[in-house]
Chains A and B, each alone.
Chain A
């Protein structure tokens, strides 16, 4: 459990908050490229870390992410006209370029240079690896562009989706690093989901429903290892990576693609769940991509435009009690993604961690909270860049591996936990 002030510290990410300042140290996913599909396409509202912004692609293909509201009288530029290298407010014609600079003020006298003195807040918006990334921090501390492996492999090797999650980011992240729920909540799907089934390692999961967990500090955050017994007296390890503040990567199965998430705060009660699947050494097959688009694996079927899951709180997540009773699903909810999301949203917009009853298998979650609290303190008090900003912390992989019983997995899987171009992931 946490004290209330600790819970507030970790969950509040608006401007000026300590965790908000920490989040602003990183490049974060903002949009999928399909949301700004062509030059001069309609602008898109973007809310990140409780800041309301508007995104657009101008006449020359440059990307902009600026204050949503016109400097004049506060009109939303969502109504704006994207034309001639800028976004023009339809109320009085003020136009802004991708840097937020006002470049035309037709309501003022013709020789007036007042427009030059008006500039909206803006942030960089950059495309890399199938994602439009932004950085909301101070320009003088802007880090290099991200180098997560999924964003650096050829586009044919990678798939990204996003979905709206209607709860605070932290309870969603904690679900992502909590390996102990897999044996219960996702029990029905390991052998049926096309993106998981058929791997030899699945036998260990199904034969041993009580894995033992081992949490180890990593340079970027934590390794969370789950071990199960093999038939020959060794341990089968599944090692999840957590890199601060919100990147996770789950151990692969067989030759399936590797996957993971980011949870990016929209505000304190909502977040975007970004889910990636990629393979370092081969393109994804048409069947794999079709399955991901259909909401298999860690992805969910969403409504176009809003990216809200089709199974959502408004329809009780399409709960199927008959399937629950028949053992087809544990919670009555179909699919990995919504099995997690439905329960995390049910905790409430911001779960009250003063009332928890944690157990030893929650040690990964406890360590992650403490790592974040320490990182915030070091960042705010001493200006120390938090883990995860350094590109070395981003060039990582998860791993599934069989090791001798006494070997530390951080040692035995050392090479496997680093992204190596052209090298297949460690998988069973």
Chain B
């Protein structure tokens, strides 16, 4: 007689999985940490999103309590940095997220010409405040990553 595991992991039984996915209402904020990241954040902001808000570097640079509160008022806080850029704003965002136990992730775009030293400076600024870091050569990966978080 087939075990329950064998029966239940079959293709036949897969037909009976609940057709609707789990209800997930996840809010997300995406903040540019430096002016060079503004373009990619602005491009993303134009797209259709259910529960995502976008903040340019100029707003983030102000680091007002109200803005930081706004950014951190989410289930996932994504920061976008350019390798070699000034990502020091990550500290203020990361600090408030840490207090609120909000998950942070930083996406670093590294152009081919950027040196290891320049990348190192940026990583030194974002690593202490990011529970996940992705370093990619192209910013279009960022939209794919964000779309994966429904």
Contact = CB atoms under 8 A, between A and B. Distances in A.
A407 B123 CA distance: 7
Interface residues of A, number: 42
A367 B136 contact: yes
Nearest to B130: A212
Interface string A376-416: 00000000000000000000000000000111101100000
Contacts of B17: 348, 352
Which label, helix, strand, loop or mixed, suits the secondary structure of the A interface? mixed
Contacts of B9: 166-167, 313, 345-349
Interface stretch (B32-40, B41-49, B54-62, B141-149): B141-149
B150 A1 contact: yes
Contacts of A317: 5
A49 B101 CA distance: 45
A360 B132 contact: yes
Interface string B2-19: 111110111101100100
Nearest to A214: B133
Interface string A356-378: 11111111001100100000000
Interface string A227-269: 0000000000000000000000000000000000000000001
Contact of A367 (B121, B127, B145): B145
Contacts of B119: 408, 411
Contact of B14 (A1, A349, A363, A411): A349
Contacts of B120: 406-408, 411
A217 B135 contact: yes
Interface string A327-370: 00000000000000010011111001011111111110011001
A213 interface: yes
B76 interface: yes
Residue among A358, A366, A408 facing the most chain B CB atoms (10 A cut-off) = A408
Given A1-B148, A362-B148, A370 B141 contact: yes
B137 A366 contact: no
A116 B92 CA distance: 77
27 contacts: A1-B148, A2-B148, A212-B130, A213-B133, A214-B133, A214-B134, A215-B135, A217-B135, A217-B136, A314-B5, A316-B5, A349-B14, A352-B17, A355-B21, A358-B148, A358-B149, A360-B132, A361-B131, A363-B105, A367-B136, A370-B144, A406-B121, A406-B124, A408-B120, A410-B116, A411-B119, A411-B120
